């Protein structure tokens, strides 16, 4: 059933072809802007953050490829979930013979898969054609990278699921959603690689769940995580996914009891 939900979500987002084309154009333009900015910076500081220029450019274009799929700037299912909570339509969701969290997880993975293909591949290809972008040295690293991306998408969902559930208490979770995507932009490494963050700030940022969304997949792509270090990267992402999904389950239970108390 959940596979069908994911497939339906994929088809749903595939119908918005104009929006997809506009997103590809936007990501490509911003990719070029950031690529030239990174080129200027790395010309002055070669090897900055442990990356050479080709790797830094790969970081830029991978960020654009994952921006929509990982909902680094919001715009995922959480807005719809908050609206359904506000209107009371979530009661219908709770009556379904399906788990609320797993239902939305399947739908979000279908959305993420489409946006990774529909809005991620073209900007990445443009970047590879226009710049000297580093590519994985071994074919299997592509598979390792995609596995890391999948784990990152689950972590992203788990974070945003709790954002959506906040509407049970706040009714309007817009403020929480905005704080969430600001944290995602900063702590995922979307603005700058987390390896550039100094001292304790860098250590804290790399230990937080948002690093699973971009920083970790990029390092896997670049071959900086191999052997047991790759296993540790997967364990880090999977650990955050399990912890956040479990916390989301607890919040969902509390929210469900609140609906019953309110007579919803």
Torsion-angle region of residue 74: left (phi > 0), alpha (psi -120 to 50) or beta? left
Structure tokens at 33: 């802007």
User: What is the model's pLDDT at position 264?
Assistant: 45
Query: Do 210 and 63 touch, CB atoms closer than 8 A?
Result: no
Query: Do 53 and 39 touch, CB atoms closer than 8 A?
Result: yes
User: What is the model's pLDDT at position 261?
Assistant: 44
Q: What is the DSSP string of 93-151?
A: HHHSSS-HHHHHHHHHHHHHHHHIIIIIHHHHHHHHHHS-----SSTHHHHHHHHHHHH
Per-residue tens of pLDDT for the chain, all 264 residues? 889 999 999 999 899 899 999 999 999 999 999 999 999 999 999 989 899 999 999 999 999 999 999 988 877 788 888 888 888 888 888 888 888 999 999 999 999 999 999 999 999 999 999 999 999 988 889 999 999 999 999 999 999 999 998 888 887 777 888 888 899 989 999 988 999 999 999 999 999 999 999 999 999 999 999 899 999 999 999 999 999 999 999 998 888 776 554 444
Q: What are the angstrom distances between the C-alpha of 98 and each of 10, 92, 106, 119?
A: 19, 11, 11, 30
CA distance 123 to 86: 36
User: What is the model's pLDDT at position 81?
Assistant: 87
Query: Do 11 and 113 touch, CB atoms closer than 8 A?
Result: no
CA distance 197 to 263: 49
Structure tokens at 60: 């830029």
Q: Where are the beta strands (DSSP E) in the chain?
A: none
CA distance 249 to 244: 8
Length of the chain: 264
Query: Do 82 and 160 touch, CB atoms closer than 8 A?
Result: no
For residue 48, the 8-state DSSP code is G
Q: Where are the domains of the chain?
A: 2-262
Query: Do 15 and 117 touch, CB atoms closer than 8 A?
Result: no
For the entire predicted model, the pTM comes to 0.92
Structure tokens at 132: 């000297």
């Amino acid at each position: 059933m959940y596979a069908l939900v994911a497939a339906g979500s994929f088809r749903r987002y595939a119908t918005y072809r104009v929006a997809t084309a506009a997103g590809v154009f936007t990501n490509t333009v911003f990719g070029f802007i950031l690529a030239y900015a990174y080129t200027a910076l790395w010309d002055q500081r070669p090897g900055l953050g442990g990356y050479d220029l080709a790797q830094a450019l790969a970081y830029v274009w991978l960020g654009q490829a994952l921006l929509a799929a990982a909902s680094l700037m919001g715009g995922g299912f959480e807005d719809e979930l908050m609206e359904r909570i506000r209107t009371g339509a979530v009661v219908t969701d709770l009556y379904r013979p399906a788990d609320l969290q797993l239902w939305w997880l399947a739908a979000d993975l279908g959305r993420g898969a489409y946006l990774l293909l529909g809005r991620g591949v073209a900007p990445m290809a443009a970047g590879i054609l226009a710049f000297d972008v580093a590519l994985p040295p071994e074919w299997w690293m592509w598979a390792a990278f995609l596995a890391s991306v999948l784990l990152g998408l689950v972590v992203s969902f788990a974070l945003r699921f709790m954002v959506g559930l906040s509407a049970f208490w706040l009714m309007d979770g817009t403020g929480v959603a905005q704080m969430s995507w600001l944290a995602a932009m900063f702590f995922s490494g979307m603005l700058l690689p987390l390896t550039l963050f100094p001292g304790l700030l860098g250590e804290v940022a790399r230990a937080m769940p948002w690093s699973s969304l971009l920083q970790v997949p990029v390092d896997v792509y670049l071959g900086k995580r191999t052997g047991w270090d790759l296993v540790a990267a997967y364990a880090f992402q999977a650990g955050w996914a399990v912890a956040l999904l479990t916390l989301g389950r607890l919040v969902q239970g509390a929210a469900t009891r609140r609906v019953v108390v309110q007579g919803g």
